[in-house]
A and B are shown apart, each in its own frame.
Chain A
Amino acid sequence: MIAKWLIKENSYYDSVTLMLVTKEIEARDDVENAVVVMGTDLNKDLLNNVGLLNDEIRKTTANDLIIAVKMKEDKFDEIVAKVEELLSKKTSEVGEDYTPPTLDSAIKHMPDSNMVVISLPGAYAADEAKKALENDKHVMLFSDNVTIEQERELKELAVSKGLLMMGPDCGTAMINQVPLCFCNKVRKGNIGIVGASGTGTQEIMVQIDRFGGGCSQVIGTGGRDLKKEIGGMMMTLGIQALAADPNTEVIVLVSKPPAYEIAEKVLKTLKESGKKAVVNFIGGDDELVRKYGFIAANSLEDAAYKAVALAKGEEPKDAPLFEESEEMIDKMVADERAKMSPDQKYLRGLFSGGTLCDEALKLFTKEFGGIYSNIALTDEYQLKDNKNSYKHTALDLGDDEFTVGRPHPMIDSYTRQQMILKEAEDQEVAVLLMDVVLGYGSNEDPAGSLADHIKLAKKKFADRGQYLSVVAYVCGTKEDPQNYEQQIEKLKDAGVILMPSNAQAVRFAMKVVRGL
């Protein structure tokens, strides 16, 4: 083990910079221990305890910054270069950059801004959103835990001012090609989306890109917008905004099935827009959609497929069930099943995206009659204990009870890692089904963070003379910051079967467990 240190005499850096430096160093695999502290006597005692004290550090004063690192191999020059970059970055920004600490000061600092993104604990979020609307700013409210009464009040205010009030709990939007919160990088195009579901919207964006289309605007509404209490206020306003946008030629709507009268209101507004449209009320009333003359989609992928056709001036057809030929899929399924033991029967879905899980539940229920879940479609299939799977189960790990005290599973894979290992203890499991969501806001390396646990789970099955089939879908584009190809490779390397859409991954998993 090699110990190295850097001393910055009489140097003061703000705590946030020091924390960034610490995190940067600690994130390296080759670093065993890193301490970034001022040279107080007490801190020197602690450095001594971890074997990082030496004569040079001993001579420092409380006004000197010490960066001491214990590492496996000497890559300190690399570390110093990065540290210097972080430290000087802040210094070089002095006098040029201003990070306003409050909304008031932000508005004062940038009076011409027209949108505010709010991500605060729910208890504070509504007040700030109201303040932004009162200042004539559009709002994207990422926070949840805002009451439905507050949501209604905010949206009424927004509508009265002709402003977008995206959210609460709005995770995905792209306004004028600027991705906001969780969002994939997709081609620019003529398809506008209004979505009441975060990962559902992401999936449609990604699939539009895959089919060669592009997006003009993506407007989020928050998951409760189509409830009776809210009345689809933001979906209606979103449609009107896209109707007025000359770059949008096709509109896609996506949400869970709304109440009939709300669906009618939304479709009526869509009709008034005069634009071509595809509607995916996931598992909802397709007849009503057709009655208004629009195209109904049977999956998120199908919505994208049809929207791209419309955008190209082609006749929309149903998306193929699989990208691969039926023969190839059957062969893959047979190969997977051949390796399993007779007691392996069940599918276990571990989703980070709520809408992707919901789509899986609906596709599965259509074929199998039902599947257990923490977000079950009916009370009959609601898990008694959401942390313990039962028979065929699909879990939305982004649901509140799994995220208490932890970031969302699209950011932090810990919960899903633990669930993978837990499912590996169950000898009756046949297939693990997962989504891996890329894009801005998501984990920097989601596939990498899951691969080792998948390998471990597969090993546990192999040790018992069994075989675990793992099927996944990577919701991302080649332009996403995570490097799409590398993510795919990491999963393939872990023995995962990859499908090009969520719907196809679900269908493949269903084929594997059918008749087991």
Chain B
Amino acid sequence: MITTKLHGTIKALKVGERVGYLLNNTDSKLKIHSIFDHAVNFIDRNDWIITLLPESYCIGPQGIILDHKEFSKFKSMELNVMDLWDFSELLSIEEAEVVSRKPLDNSIPIDMFRVKANKEYFHKLLNQSGNKNGMLGKTSIYRKYAEPILEEFSNLFIDRKYKEAGQKLFELVGLGPGLTPSGDDFIIGVMASFKFCGMKKETFADLTELIINKAKSKTNIISFNILRQGALGGFLEWIEDMALSVIHGNYEDIEKAFKNMLKIGSSSGSDISAGILFGIEEAMNLS
């Protein structure tokens, strides 16, 4: 294991709202966990991941956006998984814009007719353009596995058996293809829609508790981080936009948000969208 220092400081353009907290609560030395074309993940001792991304990518609570030239410069250095980097030497985040989660404003009433029409439109878009390799593929083994689970969840949820319902949905963690398994993506979507439908915390508190405490052993560490963010109420900007567009927006908002969703991973954007749609349906049924 080596400690590497950059000669010069990279100025971050944007940081997710949790980054400051994480960097203040670590000794600022983080290991490189994984390297992708457009992302480098750093991990701290408590398995919290901070992701460096180039400009124009979507940011979540644990993300840091760099100017794309700075990102390319950083990527062109010799990066190895497990290398230890000193973030205080590497980055300057003082001038970066902090991207906060979208506030949940319960004072805006939800127009059920609008949501119903939006939901149908979103469903149509998803069927037309969604990636069918994960939860959307009617014949995929993953979808077949998930269907009875979702049916049971719906039954339990409508009966207000939130604990059992949460346990049921939790069964999807780790299911399916992709770096972030499709089941994980779907749950992210459900949690986002519950949040922006203004569901009371008690309705999904058991699910979030399970995710925070037990999901780590059921999925990989990257996906776990994203699930944990979601359980704490933090999502990628694009996911928030998607859920909000269906709940409060118009068709144009939905199209715009969905266009961004399709840029997330291979099937992840579609699986998250399927989760958002499912979550909104469940929330509507309950209300």
A residues lining the B interface (CB < 8 Å)? 12-16, 18-19, 22, 35-38, 40-43, 46, 49-50, 62-63, 90-91, 93-102, 104-105, 108-109, 120-121, 123-124, 405
Decide yes or no: A93 and B37 within 8 Å by CB, A37-B176, A405-B128 being known contacts: yes
B residues lining the A interface (CB < 8 Å)? 33-39, 41, 54-57, 68, 72, 75-77, 79, 127-129, 133, 141-142, 145, 171-181, 183, 217-223, 255-256, 259, 263, 265-268
Inter-chain contact A43/B35, CB cutoff 8 Å: no
Inter-chain contact A15/B265, CB cutoff 8 Å: yes
Give the distance in Å from the alpha carbon of A405 to the alpha carbon of B171 in the complex: 32
Q: Which residues of A contact B178 (CB under 8 A)?
A: 15, 18-19, 38
Known: A15-B268, A62-B221. 5 other contacts (CB 8 A): A19-B178, A37-B177, A95-B72, A109-B68, A123-B255
Inter-chain contact B221/A15, CB cutoff 8 Å: no
Contact of B175 among A42, A63, A98, A100 (CB under 8 A): A42
Decide yes or no: A98 and B68 within 8 Å by CB, A12-B34, A14-B37, A43-B174 being known contacts: yes
Among residues of A, the one whose C-beta sits closest to the C-beta of B74 is A95
Decide yes or no: A98 and B177 within 8 Å by CB, A19-B267, A42-B218 being known contacts: no
Give the distance in Å from the alpha carbon of A298 to the alpha carbon of B33 in the complex: 66
Give the distance in Å from the alpha carbon of A42 to the alpha carbon of B149 in the complex: 13
Q: Which residues of B contact A94 (CB under 8 A)?
A: 35-37, 75, 79
Contact of B38 among A63, A99, A123 (CB under 8 A): A99
CB distance from A262 to the nearest CB of B (A): 33
Give the distance in Å from the alpha carbon of A104 to the alpha carbon of B68 in the complex: 12
Inter-chain contact B220/A40, CB cutoff 8 Å: yes
Inter-chain contact A18/B266, CB cutoff 8 Å: yes
Q: Which residues of B contact A99 (CB under 8 A)?
A: 37-38
Inter-chain contact A101/B68, CB cutoff 8 Å: no
Q: Which residues of A contact B38 (CB under 8 A)?
A: 98-99, 101
Inter-chain contact A15/B267, CB cutoff 8 Å: yes
Inter-chain contact B180/A15, CB cutoff 8 Å: yes
Q: Which residues of B contact A105 (CB under 8 A)?
A: 54-56, 68
Q: Which residues of B contact A405 (CB under 8 A)?
A: 127-128
Give the distance in Å from the alpha carbon of A124 to the alpha carbon of B178 in the complex: 27
3 closest A-B pairs by CB? A40-B174, A15-B266, A95-B75
Inter-chain contact A19/B220, CB cutoff 8 Å: no
Q: Which residues of B contact A90 (CB under 8 A)?
A: 36-37
Sample (17) of A-B pairs whose CB atoms are under 8 Å apart: A13-B179, A15-B180, A15-B267, A16-B266, A18-B179, A22-B133, A37-B181, A38-B179, A40-B219, A62-B217, A62-B221, A94-B36, A101-B57, A104-B56, A105-B54, A120-B259, A405-B128
Q: Which residues of B contact A36 (CB under 8 A)?
A: 177
CB distance from B202 to the nearest CB of A (A): 27
Residue from B171, B266, B267 with most neighbouring chain A CB atoms (10 Å): B266
Residue from B36, B181, B221, B259 with most neighbouring chain A CB atoms (10 Å): B36
Decide yes or no: A14 and B75 within 8 Å by CB, A40-B220, A121-B129 being known contacts: no
Give the distance in Å from the alpha carbon of A504 to the alpha carbon of B176 in the complex: 52
Among residues of A, the one whose C-beta sits closest to the C-beta of B78 is A95
CB distance from A176 to the nearest CB of B (A): 27
Among residues of B, the one whose C-beta sits closest to the C-beta of A124 is B259
Q: Which residues of A contact B133 (CB under 8 A)?
A: 19, 22
Q: Which residues of A contact B35 (CB under 8 A)?
A: 91, 94
Give the distance in Å from the alpha carbon of A14 to the alpha carbon of B127 in the complex: 24
Inter-chain contact A101/B263, CB cutoff 8 Å: yes
Q: Which residues of A contact B259 (CB under 8 A)?
A: 120-121, 124
Contact of B176 among A43, A121, A123 (CB under 8 A): A43
Give the distance in Å from the alpha carbon of A435 to the alpha carbon of B176 in the complex: 40
Inter-chain contact B141/A12, CB cutoff 8 Å: no
CB distance from B105 to the nearest CB of A (A): 28
Q: Which residues of A contact B55 (CB under 8 A)?
A: 105, 108
Inter-chain contact B263/A42, CB cutoff 8 Å: no
Contact of A41 among B34, B128, B174, B180 (CB under 8 A): B174
Residue from A14, A93, A105 with most neighbouring chain B CB atoms (10 Å): A14
Among residues of A, the one whose C-beta sits closest to the C-beta of B34 is A12
Inter-chain contact A38/B219, CB cutoff 8 Å: yes
Give the distance in Å from the alpha carbon of A41 to the alpha carbon of B172 in the complex: 11
Q: Which residues of B contact A22 (CB under 8 A)?
A: 133, 177
Inter-chain contact A43/B175, CB cutoff 8 Å: yes
Q: Which residues of B contact A37 (CB under 8 A)?
A: 176-177, 181
Contact of A108 among B68, B176, B179 (CB under 8 A): B68
Q: Which residues of A contact B183 (CB under 8 A)?
A: 42
Give the distance in Å from the alpha carbon of A62 to the alpha carbon of B176 in the complex: 12
CB distance from A87 to the nearest CB of B (A): 12
Q: Which residues of A contact B220 (CB under 8 A)?
A: 12, 38, 40, 62-63
Q: Which residues of B contact A13 (CB under 8 A)?
A: 36, 179
Q: Which residues of B contact A104 (CB under 8 A)?
A: 56
Give the distance in Å from the alpha carbon of A412 to the alpha carbon of B111 in the complex: 42
Give the distance in Å from the alpha carbon of A108 to the alpha carbon of B70 in the complex: 13
Give the distance in Å from the alpha carbon of A108 to the alpha carbon of B36 in the complex: 21
Decide yes or no: A18 and B177 within 8 Å by CB, A40-B218, A42-B183, A123-B255 being known contacts: yes
CB distance from B65 to the nearest CB of A (A): 11
Q: Which residues of B contact A95 (CB under 8 A)?
A: 72, 75-77, 79
Among residues of B, the one whose C-beta sits closest to the C-beta of A19 is B266
Give the distance in Å from the alpha carbon of A41 to the alpha carbon of B215 in the complex: 11
Give the distance in Å from the alpha carbon of A12 to the alpha carbon of B75 in the complex: 17
CB distance from A290 to the nearest CB of B (A): 47
Decide yes or no: A49 and B263 within 8 Å by CB, A12-B36, A15-B178, A101-B57 being known contacts: no
Q: Which residues of B contact A16 (CB under 8 A)?
A: 265-266
Inter-chain contact A46/B129, CB cutoff 8 Å: no
Q: Which residues of B contact A98 (CB under 8 A)?
A: 37-38, 54, 68, 72
Q: Which residues of B contact A101 (CB under 8 A)?
A: 38, 56-57, 263
Q: Which residues of B contact A91 (CB under 8 A)?
A: 35
Q: Which residues of B contact A124 (CB under 8 A)?
A: 255-256, 259
CB distance from A95 to the nearest CB of B (A): 4
Decide yes or no: A40 and B175 within 8 Å by CB, A62-B219, A102-B56, A105-B55 being known contacts: yes
Q: Which residues of B contact A43 (CB under 8 A)?
A: 174-176, 181
Among residues of A, the one whose C-beta sits closest to the C-beta of B35 is A94
Decide yes or no: A12 and B179 within 8 Å by CB, A99-B37, A101-B56, A105-B56 being known contacts: yes
Q: Which residues of B contact A18 (CB under 8 A)?
A: 177-179, 266
